[in-house]
């Protein structure tokens, strides 16, 4: 029998320890799931035990177990148009929810007609439901702060609108609202917080204004069946007003927005939306600030789509270096203007995003529906060419709104790039 020297004993113990370590690693597995995995994205293949334990020269290694292939992604077509990829998600966005006195008087009349007390904004918004429900996520823009339930209420120039608008928005199908606008601090910190409280009470997520500095550091990321979607909102200004603290409202600063988008990506966001509250009121073209900021966001590579509101008019859609930019969605709801016909019009946008084999999400379909606000009673009404609600303001007026909207939307090449009218009645 061979004598076991101290040197040989050491080598035997080292080999035994290596085998034990390999078995231990193989039984536990290596590779933690990331945030994107939790959202349903394919998990990155973890290191196997064979690759984890380096093989030393002259050391006998235990046989490596067979590697486990990465699981195939679960087919998740999402809502909206047919999904040509394995996984898709659709988002619906609209313009300013701008509540004026005539709208809350209409809501009072609608509640009374239903035999109820108070205010009912549901009938005003009902026409949007079919469109909103055609997406996996729907984002509104709440332009103004809300008052207490009993008021007092006020409209322009310092808004303090009925909070009953918020549950109506939720009930028609929206899941989230952006809140960064030039009117966010019309009623100071109290109005800002009251608005966020009302959104929370209705179960609506929100971003753009905040109760605390800690909240402002966060990024809103929403989970759909197929993807995690981040929303980043900012406004060009506050009508010369100053918030109590700079962090209370997100301002239109591309560097800050890009930093937030990078944080969202680090947290696992698959899709990042940028919502810009900017532009010249009643214009038909984006201004220099809008184009500069939107292009900077797109150039960063962090944003999947960018859209805007504030101008109270429909603005062009542009595909810039492969990224869709919808510069202005007009008004989602508003009181009729006797002076600016474009104020009474809006654009509902639905974007479908698809994931490619490399795990990158891009817009695969962009569809828009033109709308108008009508009075007697006040209602949101689609003037899309399939006329899903019938006549809105009359055949001639509806055709004029549709033509005016299409001309604005397509003035920067959107049609040639693939954007098209959303014909909701033609979908399954």
Of 418, 195, 232, the C-alpha closest to 322 is 418
Cα end-to-end span (Å), the chain: 83
pLDDT of residue 71: 63
pLDDT of residue 65: 54
Q: Please report the DSSP string for 108-127 in residue order.
A: HHHHHHTT-SS---HHHHGG
Cα(140)–Cα(170) distance, rounded to whole angstroms? 10
- The residues facing 222 across adjacent strands are 229
The tokens of 115 are what? 């035999």
Cβ neighbour number for residue 327 with a 10 Å cutoff? 27
Contact, 327 vs 316, CB < 8 A?
yes
d(CA 403, CA 271): 32
Residue 428 is predicted with a pLDDT of 86
Whole-angstrom distance, CA of residue 302 vs CA of residue 324: 13
Rounded to whole angstroms, the Cα distance separating 78 from 227 reads 10
Looking at residue 68, its pLDDT comes to: 60
Q: What is the pLDDT of residue 200?
A: 98
pLDDT the model gives residue 70:
57
> Which residues make Cβ contacts (< 8 Å) with residue 86, sequence separation at least 6?
73, 75, 76, 355
pLDDT at 74: 84
- Confirm if 276 and 329 have CB atoms less than 8 A apart: no
CATH of the domain spanning 88-426, picked from 3.60.21.10, 3.30.230.70, 2.60.15.10, 3.30.1780.10:
3.60.21.10
For Cα atoms 143, 147, 152, give the angle at the middle one, nearest 5 degrees.
125
Any idea of the CA torsion for 404, 408, 409, 412, to the nearest 10 degrees?
Answer: 150
Domain residue limits, the chain = 88-426
Confidence at residue 73, expressed as pLDDT on a 0 to 100 scale: 73
- Report which secondary-structure segment, H or E, holds 349: strand 345-355
The residues that bridge with 333 in the sheet, in sequence order, are 97
- At 177, is the secondary structure helix, strand, or coil? strand
Residues of the chain with pLDDT under 70: 1-72
The rounded distance, in Å, linking the Cα atoms of 402 and 41 is 39
Residues 6+ apart with CB under 8 A from 85: 354, 355, 356, 364
Report the distance separating Cα 256 and Cα 246, nearest Å: 13
DSSP at 71? P
| The pLDDT of residue 299 | 98
pLDDT in tens, 23-45: 333 333 322 222 333 333 333 33
Q: Write down the pLDDT at residue 17.
A: 39
Choose among 365, 354, 355: nearest CA to 324. 365
Residue ranges in 29-160 assigned as alpha helix (H): 35-38, 49-52, 101-113, 122-125, 129-132
Reported pTM: 0.84
Which residue in 288, 324, 293 sits closest to 93, CA to CA? Answer: 324
């Amino acid at each position: 029998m061979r004598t076991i020297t101290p040197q040989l004993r050491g080598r035997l113990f080292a080999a035994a320890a290596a085998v034990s370590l390999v078995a231990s690693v193989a039984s536990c597995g290596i590779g933690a799931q990331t945030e994107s995995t939790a959202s349903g994205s394919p998990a990155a293949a973890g290191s196997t035990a064979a690759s984890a334990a380096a093989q030393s020269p002259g050391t006998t290694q235990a046989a490596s177990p067979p590697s486990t292939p990465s699981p195939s992604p679960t087919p998740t077509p999402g809502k909206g148009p047919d999904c040509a990829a394995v996984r898709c998600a659709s988002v619906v966005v609209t313009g300013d929810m701008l509540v004026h006195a005539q709208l809350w008087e209409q809501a009072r009349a609608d509640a009374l007609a239903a035999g109820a007390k108070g205010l009912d904004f549901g009938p005003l918004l009902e026409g949007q439901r079919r469109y909103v429900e055609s997406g996996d996520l729907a984002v509104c823009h709440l332009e103004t702060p809300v008052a207490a339930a009993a008021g007092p209420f006020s409209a322009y120039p310092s808004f303090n609108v009925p909070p009953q608008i918020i549950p109506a928005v939720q009930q028609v199908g929206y899941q989230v609202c952006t809140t960064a606008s030039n009117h966010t601090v019309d009623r100071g910190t109290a109005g800002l917080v009251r608005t966020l409280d009302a959104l929370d009470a209705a179960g609506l997520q929100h971003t753009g204004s905040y109760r605390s500095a800690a909240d402002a550091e966060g990024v809103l990321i929403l989970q759909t069946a197929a993807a995690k979607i981040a929303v980043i909102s900012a406004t060009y200004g506050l009508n010369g007003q100053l918030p109590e603290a700079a962090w209370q409202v997100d301002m239109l600063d591309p560097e800050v927005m890009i930093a937030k988008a990078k944080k969202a990506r680090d947290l696992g966001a698959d899709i990042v939306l940028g919502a810009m509250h900017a532009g010249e009121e009643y214009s038909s073209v984006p201004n220099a600030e809008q184009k500069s900021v939107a292009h900077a966001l797109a150039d960063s590579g962090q944003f999947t789509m960018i859209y805007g509101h504030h101008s109270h008019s429909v603005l062009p859609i542009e595909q810039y270096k492969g990224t869709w930019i919808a510069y202005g969605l007009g008004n989602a709801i508003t009181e009729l203007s006797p002076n600016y016909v474009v104020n009474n019009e809006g654009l509902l946008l639905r974007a479908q995003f698809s994931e490619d084999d490399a795990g990158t999400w891009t817009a695969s379909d962009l569809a828009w529906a033109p709308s108008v606000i009508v009075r007697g009673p006040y209602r949101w009404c689609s003037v899309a060419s399939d006329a899903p609600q019938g006549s809105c303001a009359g055949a001639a007026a509806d055709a004029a709104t549709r033509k005016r909207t299409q001309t604005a939307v397509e003035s920067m090449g959107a049609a040639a790039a693939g954007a098209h009218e959303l014909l909701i009645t033609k979908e399954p």
